[in-house]
Structure 1
Amino acid sequence: SGRSKPTASLVDNTTWDLVRDLETLREKLGIEKWMCFGGSWGSTLALLYAIEHPTRVSELVMRGIFLMKEEELQFFFQQGTSMIFPDAYQAYSQHIPVAERNDLITAYYRRLTSDDEPTRREAAKFWTTWEMSTSFAKPNVEYILKGDDAEFAAAFARIETHYFVNLGWLPTP
């Protein structure tokens, strides 16, 4: 929800920290079993929570399933979605020097974790605008403009790339 403090902190911020946080929340609320619902990254988190705490899940509802697989990340952020949204991809990729474009996620992560605030802010804008430009089949101007919201973009892009460069801390086959 974007209300965590400090904003965009990467400390104790892994998939497994989130699964533990969900279980802590369930316990504090006194809920015996609950339905886990999630879309995109939320589907991954819901599934992992259900695997870790199967007796605490009554139903599992997922949409737009995203499993944090290397192939999914490559398709969305490197090659694939670029053919569906070529103009948005051009703006997103051209922010990164040609020598680093073979791994845009890592290139953006370096900028989003830089000590230089203007570098972070600019990278966050381009990353978030790309993500929001490709989240719907038809452009949604309200979402695309989230790239201009410096606070939202900084948190969104920094945390998202943190998860992506670490492949969600999930085991790989």
Structure 2
Amino acid sequence: MAPEAEREIRLGHTSAAAPLTSQMLDVGDGHTIYVETSGNPNGVAAVYLHGGPGSGCQPDHRRLFDAKRFHAVLFDQRGAGRSGPKGGREANTLPHLIADMEAIRSTLGIARWLVVGGSWGATLALAYAQAHPDRVSGIVLRATFLGTRAELEAAFLETLPRFYPDLHADFLSLLPEDERAAPLDAYWRRILDPDPAVHGPAARAWGETESILSQIAPKRTRLDPHKAGDTRPMPTTPFMEAHYFVNDCFMRPDQLMADADKLAGIPGIIVQGRYDLLCPPATAHRLSAAWPGTEVRTVDAAGHLLYDPGIRDAVIAAINDVADRSTGSGSRSGPSSH
């Protein structure tokens, strides 16, 4: 789930140190992935997974990792950020993203790494760890999203009308009456329609609604009406989200919970905002109950976003604590065992 990148830019968190290295990695299928590293090349290897799907990494994400302790890897997923083609949805599925992570790890000569992700980044972190548990030294999640339709229906069809009834009315009013019985499908269909007159209003309404749900104290709680000739920037993440959500995030039903036993032995901490309306605490606790040895750390007075009060500090502490629990040398950079 997506609004974080745009908010981080507005918040001005752009003073992080420049990356150690950056490259465009050709992963095939016509896609090139932007990859950067920062921190200590001999430190504990860690990879950061951004949200969305489709948002991209931001400079401040480097600052989650102690530059003296960690060798941090950040990358923009297929179609996101600086990766190309921008917005590309062909050959863009969850298995492709997992394969890209393996290509990055192998290219950088990392044997095992600590995996960190929030929201959609948590989805990808779990899917990657379940596919390649031997490559993961530890996991830190924030705002756990398991990539299920049930979670999306809970957020937009139950939580939205319960907490923001006027916003819910706005959200439905954009759709013709005969499409309001299944609004999620209608929105995704419209967002993926090639006609700008169809996808423009839908993408803006979806992005604005999700952004309001993500904030602990939004400045506005109604949708701006779409106007002809609207010159506001078109949000990018709704298009990638619709592509993934209409395809059930390219997973089996409840796949991440069904395969939770594959996480056994991997240390993990889940950071959870008490009032996260998109990824509520129940999801984090459900996952924790199926993943022995993990810990949920709840941050009060916080919602979905990384920059809600207390969340960023809790993520930084969790990264350090999971690194302490990981086998020392196994998580450090070094020649790949391939």
Same fold (TM > 0.5): yes
Q: Distance in 2 between matches of 1:139 and 1:106?
A: 26
Hey, what's the Cα distance between the residues in 2 that align with 1:31 and 1:86?
Answer: 49
Which residue is 1:129 aligned to?
208
Q: Tell me the TM-score normalized by structure 1.
A: 0.87
Aligned to 1:161: 242
Pairing 1:67–2:146 present: yes
| Structure 1 residue 170 displacement after superposition | 1.1
Q: TM-score, normalised by structure 2?
A: 0.46
Q: Tell me: CA distance 1:87–1:119, structure 2 relative to 1, closer, same or farther (3 Å).
A: same
Count of aligned residue pairs for this structure pair: 167
Residues 105 and 164 of structure 1 are in contact (CA less than 8 Å); yes or no, is this contact kept in structure 2?
A: no
Matches within 5 A, 1:1-173: 1=56, 2-139=81-218, 148-150=232-234, 153=235, 155-172=236-253
**Uncovered stretches (5+) of structure 2, i.e. residues with no partner:** 1-55, 57-80, 225-231, 255-338
**SS, match of residue 102 in structure 1:** coil
Q: Which has the larger radius of gyration?
A: 2
- 2:59 paired residue number: none
Asked whether the 8 Å contact 1:19–1:48 carries over to 2, the reply is yes
Partner letter of residue 170 of structure 1?
M
Structure 1 runs (4+) deviating above 3 angstroms are: none
Structure (1/2) with the larger helix percentage: 1
With 104-113 and 49-58 compared, the bigger mean Cα shift is at 104-113
Alignment check: 8 A CA contact 2:203 2:239 kept: yes
Offset at residue 140 of structure 1 (A): 5.7
> Aligned-pair RMSD on alpha carbons?
2.1
Structure ranking higher in strand proportion: 2
Distance between the aligned counterparts of 1:21 and 1:105, measured in 2?
29
CA distances 1:90-115 after superposition (whole Å, capped 9, x unpaired): 22221111211122221112211212
Identical aligned residues as a percent: 36
Q: Which runs of 5+ in 1 are unaligned?
A: none
Counterpart residue identity of residue 127, structure 2: L
Deviates more, 1:2-11 or 1:68-77: 2-11
* CA distance in structure 1 between the partners assigned to 2:147 and 2:182 by the alignment: 16
